[in-house]
Amino acid sequence: MTSTALLRTEQLTRSYGSLLAVDRVSLTVNEGELRSIIGPNGAGKTTLFRLISGEVAPTGGRIWFRGHDVTGLAQHTVSRLGIAKSYQITNVFPHLSVLENVRVAAQGYGRSFNFWSRTDALTDARARAAALLETMGLTGKAALLAAHLSHGEKRHLELAIALAAEPVLLLLDEPTAGMSPEETDETMVLIRELAAGRTIVLVEHKMKVVMKISDRITVLHQGQVLADGTPEEIRANDVVQRTYLGAKQ
Ligand code: ATP
């Protein structure tokens, strides 16, 4: 089987003054892949995500998505092209119901949105929102105010909101942060299910999660790619062991 590159960065760089937060990062994520980005605090993981999503402009290098050069495009343009990001900082509206939170997101992005038929568009967004809540196991909570969800449920709602944009590439920033071991396990299963239909790039600190669900892992260290490989290759990599994994286990 030949694999198709969905996302490619070439020598991608972002400096803040004299600090190189992301330093000449070249990576390729293939269609359908679940890629994890790991590395110690300050390694540049979040900045790399912000570059890919168009939130921050690079100071060097290029980004290609689906064969198009998307370097320096605004975040809303990148999002329209099919990249969605689920934030570490919550983007849930606490005073809207769970269903409304997803419906509002679905309405803004539905591919079938028809300018002339507002009623159809609203019904469509509502149906898509309900389907997404079902995928996330939140159907029973649809009518609740989002403020009343548990932490884990809120993270799942954030995922539903990100999926409402029907992304081709989903960027997940620490999806299991702050979760109990049980919630973490549930979320891992969910992410694997989501990965069946799309490409996912994940920043995650929990090694158990990363090693279990990733197809490939990229290790960042001081803004640079330290290693790139399958979970087995990364686990067996001496340099990674010395500089990162050794300290974590
Ligand atoms: P963590 O795991 O702690 O979230 P990270 O790997 O995501 O870390 P980044 O947040 O990308 O790392 O930060 C990489 C480096 O860039 C750090 O030294 C950080 O202080 C610096 N940095 C990030 N954003 C900015 C900014 N807006 N202004 C100045 N420095 C920044």
Q: Domains in the chain, ordered, with CATH?
A: 1-82+167-249 (3.40.50.300), 93-165 (no CATH)
**Cα(107)–Cα(42) distance, integer angstroms:** 36
8 lines ligand 1 (CB under 6 A): no
3-state secondary structure of 56: coil
16 lines ligand 1 (CB under 6 A): yes
Average pLDDT over residues 125-144: 93
Candidate from 41, 45, 47 with most ligand 1 atoms within 8 A of CB, to mutate: 47
45 lines ligand 1 (CB under 6 A): yes
Average pLDDT over residues 60-78: 94
Q: What is the pLDDT of residue 208?
A: 86
Candidate from 14, 15, 16, 55 with most ligand 1 atoms within 8 A of CB, to mutate: 16
Task: Locate all alpha helices (DSSP H) within the chain, ordered by sequence.
Answer: 45-52, 75-81, 98-109, 118-135, 151-163, 181-195, 207-213, 231-236, 238-240, 246-248
Q: Give residue 113's pLDDT band: very low, low, confident or very high (50, 70, 90).
A: very low
Q: What is the pLDDT of residue 90?
A: 60
DSSP letter for 145, please.
B
Closest Cα to atom 31, ligand 1: which residue? 16
Beta strands 19-30 and 5-16, pairing class: antiparallel
Q: Give residue 138's pLDDT band: very low, low, confident or very high (50, 70, 90).
A: very high
Average pLDDT over residues 11-19: 97
Average pLDDT over residues 175-199: 88
**Cα(122)–Cα(29) distance, integer angstroms:** 35
Residue 150: Cβ within 10 Å count: 12
40 lines ligand 1 (CB under 6 A): no
Q: Which two tokens stand for residue 70?
A: 């998307």
Give the chain's mean pLDDT.
Answer: 88
Percent of the chain at pLDDT exceeding 90: 59
Highest-confidence segment of 71-85, 213-227, 230-244: 213-227
Q: What is the pLDDT of residue 112?
A: 46
pLDDT digits (tens, 9 = 90+) for 168-179: 999 999 888 888
Q: Give residue 88's pLDDT band: very low, low, confident or very high (50, 70, 90).
A: low
Percent of the chain at pLDDT exceeding 70: 90
Q: Give residue 207's pLDDT band: very low, low, confident or very high (50, 70, 90).
A: confident
Q: Given the CA of residue 46, which atom of ligand 1 is nearest to it? A: 7
